[in-house]
Structure 1
Amino acid sequence: MHAGCSVIDTQKMQRVAGQIGSNPAGIFQDHNGQRYYVKSLESPMHARNELIAARLYQLAGAPTLTYHNSVDPCQIVTEWLALDKKHIAHFSESERKQAQQWFGVHAWTANWDAAGFDGDNQGVKNGKVLTLDVGGALAFRAHGDPKGKAFGLQVEELTVLRRDRGNPHALKLFADMTEDEVKQAIRVVALIPNEQIRQVIINSGGSHKLAEKMVARKADMMGRLS
């Protein structure tokens, strides 16, 4: 992800298209012709949760869309991107393997919706696989319900994202990963310094409790490398 430096005010833009995903949203265009996809979430807490998740993806090096802050604290704003592929069913084998490199990041952030309900949360642009929506990561489900104790200190997603038949598109992406491939994906997270994790979360408006939870989840993942 590239973090945009501007603050977006959709009241000063033209709405040019409606929603694509499951949350109320629209495509907005500014006076320069730049388009943005804008989601309206139920609360500032839900929106902040997604922004923190996006910045953790960025910290790990996992490609996402470009996020911007909004004057409306309930909005999530990303730059509109015309994708070459927008469904994992259309991925080549090499693109699917590329997506697997970021499996550890999805698991670490508890992104249950990493693949998407319809397989549409992963896309391809210029040969690069991107995660298109991180609304199902951390403390909230994709539709906004809190995960509660299901978002804990142990990273059960390392198993669940590869085994849960109720999440068929995640299975399509991750089920055939070898143990060595899973360990390599874990190492992506293991390399992130704890202080950088804490700094990103606190600077993004997250709590110290969340910061320590993410450090603990990283430690749990590292324990699986032995």
Structure 2
Amino acid sequence: MNADRPLIDTSTMQRVGGQLGTNPAGIFQDNNGRRYYVKTLESPAHARNEMIAAKLYHLAGAPTLTYVSTTAPDQIATEWIELDKKCIAHLNESERKKAQRWFGVHAWTANWDAAGYNGDNQGVVNGKVLTLDVGGALAFRAQGDPKGKAFGTRVDELDVLRTDEGNPHAVRLFSDMSPDEIEQAIMVVLRIADQQIHQVIIDSGGGDALAEKMIARKADMARR
């Protein structure tokens, strides 16, 4: 997160690159040469959902790209960085273990797109493994459809992300985790205080209902 930086306005910036994912997007450069990857989403609700997810990842300590706020309410922006690796297939064993450390955060936030449709949602820069896009977390699927009742208070993702044949890259990344590794990944979430979860969601424009759901999902993970 970069909360202290002023809002960026892409209408005053130069577009220097095109979209990389499924959403309309581009690489934009400001007058100081700083570059950002900016997505235009279906609605302000979609953008707010992704920003809340990013802040929950940050709260848990899970590495992501650095999100910055925009003047347009339906946009999401991240600071542009050159990745050393940008596909799960290219991760070495040490990097795979680093990615698995955040399995509990992906499950908690219902990030079905944690691995990416093409295995392209985990990247490496300077030895750090990052989740590159959290748009598939919380209330919406990666391509924007609402999850509805599939995003409830049960964290079925603890099983689904490791077994769903329809999500082969997630299975490739998480299926060989040992029970102890899964427990350690769950503990990452359980260490977060309920009040912190509530505060981050409310401060990010979310409501009490989402805060209560995320606290309930954490409690469900504790029961597992």
- What TM-score results when the alignment is normalised by the length of structure 2? 0.99
Q: Provide the rounded CA distance (Å) in 1 between the counterparts of 2:4 and 2:89.
A: 30
Question: Secondary structure at the residue paired with 1:120?
Answer: coil
Mapping 1:87-102, distance limit 5 Å: 87-102=87-102
Aligned-residue CA RMSD in angstroms?
0.8
Q: CA deviation at 1:2?
A: 5.0
Please tell me the residue identity of whatever aligns with 2:31: H
CA contact (8 A) 1:4 1:66 kept: no
Mapping 1:74-223, distance limit 5 Å: 74-223=74-223
Question: Secondary structure at the residue paired with 1:143?
Answer: coil
CA contact (8 A) 1:2 1:65 kept: no
Provide, for residues 20-39 of structure 1, a one-character-per-residue CA deviation record: whole Å limited to 9, x for no partner: 00100000000010000000
CA contact (8 A) 1:39 1:75 kept: yes
Question: Secondary structure at the residue paired with 1:71?
Answer: coil
Q: Which residue of 2 aligns with 1:10?
A: 10
Question: Secondary structure at the residue paired with 1:7?
Answer: coil
CA contact (8 A) 2:102 2:185 kept: yes
Please tell me the residue identity of whatever aligns with 1:27: I
Q: Provide the rounded CA distance (Å) in 2 between the counterparts of 1:10 and 1:2.
A: 17
Q: Provide the rounded CA distance (Å) in 2 between the counterparts of 1:167 and 1:42.
A: 24
Identity %: 72
Provide, for residues 169-210 of structure 1, a one-character-per-residue CA deviation record: whole Å limited to 9, x for no partner: 001110000111100000000000000000000000001000
CA contact (8 A) 2:2 2:68 kept: no
How many residue pairs match? The answer is: 224
Q: Provide the rounded CA distance (Å) in 2 between the counterparts of 1:100 and 1:2.
A: 25
Please tell me the residue identity of whatever aligns with 1:61: G
Please tell me the residue identity of whatever aligns with 1:113: D
CA contact (8 A) 1:2 1:58 kept: no
Structure 1 gaps of 5+ residues are none
Q: Provide the rounded CA distance (Å) in 1 between the counterparts of 2:64 and 2:200.
A: 16
CA contact (8 A) 1:3 1:66 kept: no
Q: Provide the rounded CA distance (Å) in 1 between the counterparts of 2:32 and 2:187.
A: 41
Q: CA deviation at 1:3?
A: 4.7
Q: Which residue of 1 aligns with 2:43?
A: 43
CA contact (8 A) 2:53 2:109 kept: yes
Pair 1:64–1:3, CA change in 2 (3 A): farther
- What TM-score results when the alignment is normalised by the length of structure 1? 0.98
Q: Provide the rounded CA distance (Å) in 2 between the counterparts of 1:115 and 1:4.
A: 30
Q: Provide the rounded CA distance (Å) in 1 between the counterparts of 2:17 and 2:107.
A: 33
**1:29 equivalent in alignment to 2:29:** yes
Q: Which residue of 1 aligns with 2:19?
A: 19
Q: Provide the rounded CA distance (Å) in 1 between the counterparts of 2:17 and 2:210.
A: 35
Question: Secondary structure at the residue paired with 1:26?
Answer: strand
Q: Provide the rounded CA distance (Å) in 1 between the counterparts of 2:8 and 2:190.
A: 34
Pair 1:62–1:4, CA change in 2 (3 A): farther
Question: Secondary structure at the residue paired with 1:57?
Answer: helix
Please tell me the residue identity of whatever aligns with 2:75: Q
CA contact (8 A) 1:60 1:105 kept: yes
